[in-house]
Amino acid sequence: MNLVIFIIFFPVYLQVIWLCLIFLGNLKRPREHSSYHSPKRKFLILVPAHNESAGIANCIRSLKTIDYPENLYNIQVIADNCDDDTAQKARDEGALVWERSSEERKSKGYALEDAFKKYLVETDTEAFIVIDADTEVDRNLLNEFNEDLQLEKDWIQAYYTGSNVDASWRTRLMEWGFAVFNGSYLQGLSSLGLSVPLRGNGMCFSREGLQRVPWSCSGLAEDMEFGWELRFKNERVHFNPNARVKGEFVSQGATASSQRKRWEDGRSAVRSSFKDRMNELPAFKRFLYGFDLRMWPMAKLLGSLFLYGLLAFILARDVLALAIVLLLIVTLYVFSPFIFGLASPRLVGAAVHVPRYVIWKLFVKMKKSTSSWVRTTREAENSAETFDFCDLQFSRLSKSETVEKILSISQEERVSWIVTPNSDIVLRAQKDPKFKGVVQKASLLTPDGMPIVWASKILGGPIPERVTGADLLPAICLAAANRGIKVCFLGGHEGEAEQAVENFKKQNSNFDCMTIYPPMGFDQDEKLNDGIVAKLRQGKPQIVFVGVGSPKQEYWVYDNRSDLPHGVYLGVGMSISLAAGNKSRAPQWMQDSGLEWVYRIFQEPRRMIKRYSGNFEIFVLIFQEWRKKRR
């Protein structure tokens, strides 16, 4: 019986041995640069864009913040068969634009093929970088690539992850999967001296490399296809985990299913086309790349291991120990991004959604295959920009889009205020008409509470993700530092604002922030109030985080709006204390499940029990709104 089980599950052993090698390869970590050589290489950043009006501006703004001499890189948008205003928006942001049109050659692969041919002749560019139109990049991207090119690496793949990780349970699991598939796996291959697969986004090719092996791939998985062509040409793609790009994950089920099916079909087609060519490779590389070509999906491998362990337990318990060892190896591989610092530990909580994800993927597998390229619908295009709940218009922007929106508002010549309503604020607005008026007049309402997100899914117009003041404050501060925008912390306990500033300066020394500690009762004392307004008028911050608690912070901004300097004012409650490190947030799984209130009660039982005891009324409001829609 042991021999029968061994023979049946022999492919499983091979899969686990391969993943063990990959895991061991991660023990050899590339050294992070403490400083860079002087910039030398001239880069052309290619942004293929088919009807990307919703996100092209954000992508270009991110690319323009790269820390590299402006005269040594250009941003070239390929407006490919567009019938929207992608080209104009790209020009408005200062990018170069090539408007390409071809009914026969219609895909990202064809667009890149034509672009490489065109710009190899028309420019003196020394290296080309491919960035998707929904992407944000790290400021050190070109410096990292410049270092690699100086080491004569002609083909480089950046570490590609997500920008909207917290949009849904699906995007959190995708971030974990990307950290394994685009991080640990590539690092393991690279450490073994093998050419890594291309991932389509964050690819860097030298002029010399493209002259030796021109791009000529246009299938559903053109990146994977070209990566294999390079292997057969004895070229090596290097992985650089310190060069990072972040694309937008799809959070909506139908769109995610369509995208996933296209990826799976494309990879299947590539595997079928290249398996007969493996004899072209040297024996050793044929052996190792064979594992890569035939690697199973993780769900299939874990399912096989579970079945193996079950049969061993029932029929052959003397091999049960081997089943446990195999499962341990796979577990180490799955958790390798956390072990080797490629992913945030807070993602571990997403593991509770794995069964749900596996079931979803099974349904995706059963969908009809496609042979033609179809553009993925972006998050901002899914429907209207707001969700109406209890006469309050909630933004349906993702966190990254909200940050961009607020940065844009901060440049306007007026006083604007942002409110981040949770259940408490929504309920207060229903009982207090004056407060409701203040909230309704805000430039933006972001959904701070999970019940609001749930309501949007029940009532129609689903909000992609919860966007809290605690999430916005650090994201805005770091983005503002990159763009030279001055901010102010007004609130928190004494000394907390200064500590928060110090923490952000450690992350970006360009962070420019003034701090104001408002004494107790400042809003009722005319002299104290005027003093705070005078400090703001003198300092002229463009973004002010007001952390004095709700409803005081909303009333204060509204009552003083005619005297305050132009800028955007955000009510952020205890977020300054969180940024200072004096308070902690609930684990990510509690935030995702709508249980952060439980954590807050344990932190401050007396205050929070009183506050949350009445908040269950929000579900009554949701039910009432649902009844209205049913009539």
Q: Looking at the domain assignment, is residue 259 inside a domain? A: no
Q: What is the pLDDT of residue 179?
A: 95
Q: Is 396 within 8 Å of 463 (Cβ atoms)?
A: yes
Q: What is the pLDDT of residue 102?
A: 84
Q: What is the pLDDT of residue 383?
A: 46
Q: Looking at the domain assignment, is residue 579 inside a domain? A: yes
Q: Is 317 exposed, middle or buried (0-12, 13-18, 19+ CB in 10 A)?
A: exposed
**Three-state helix/strand/coil letters over 492-561:** CCCCHHHHHHHHHHHHCCCCCEEEECCCCCHHHCHHHHHHHHHHHHHHCCCEEEEECCCCHHHHHHHHCC
Q: Looking at the domain assignment, is residue 526 inside a domain? A: yes
pLDDT, tens digit, 9 for 90 and up, residues 88-142: 999 999 999 999 988 788 788 999 999 999 999 999 999 999 999 999 999 999 9
CATH for 128 = 3.90.550.10
- Return phi, psi of residue 530, to 5°: -65, -35
Q: What is the pLDDT of residue 609?
A: 81
Q: What is the pLDDT of residue 610?
A: 75
Number of domains in the chain: 2
Q: Looking at the domain assignment, is residue 171 inside a domain? A: no
Query: Range of 134's domain?
Result: 38-164+191-247
- Which among 199, 218, 247 is the end of a domain? 247
- Return phi, psi of residue 376, to 5°: -80, 130
Q: Looking at the domain assignment, is residue 562 inside a domain? A: yes
Q: Looking at the domain assignment, is residue 571 inside a domain? A: yes
| Average pLDDT, consecutive stretches of 10 residues, N- to C-terminus, the chain (631 residues) | 74 92 89 79 95 89 93 95 91 94 85 95 96 93 95 96 81 90 95 94 97 86 90 95 90 55 64 80 86 84 84 76 88 94 86 76 61 52 72 89 91 91 92 92 92 87 87 94 94 92 92 93 91 94 94 94 93 92 83 81 81 83 81 58
Q: Looking at the domain assignment, is residue 542 inside a domain? A: yes
Q: What is the pLDDT of residue 103?
A: 78
Q: Is 407 within 8 Å of 418 (Cβ atoms)?
A: no
The conformation of residue 392, written as its DSSP 8-state character, comes to: E
Long-range own/partner contacts, residues 38-42 (CB < 8 A, 24 or more apart): 39/68, 39/69, 39/72, 39/142, 39/143, 39/146, 40/72, 40/146, 40/150, 41/72, 41/126, 41/127, 41/142, 41/145, 41/146, 41/149, 41/150, 42/72, 42/73, 42/124, 42/125, 42/126, 42/127
pLDDT, tens digit, 9 for 90 and up, residues 335-348: 999 999 999 888 88
Q: What is the pLDDT of residue 168?
A: 74
Q: Is 50 within 8 Å of 87 (Cβ atoms)?
A: no
Q: What is the pLDDT of residue 246?
A: 94
Angstrom distance (rounded) from CA 388 to CA 288 = 55
Q: Is 429 within 8 Å of 445 (Cβ atoms)?
A: no
Q: Looking at the domain assignment, is residue 583 inside a domain? A: yes
The separation between the first and the last C-alpha atoms of the chain, rounded to the nearest angstrom, is 64
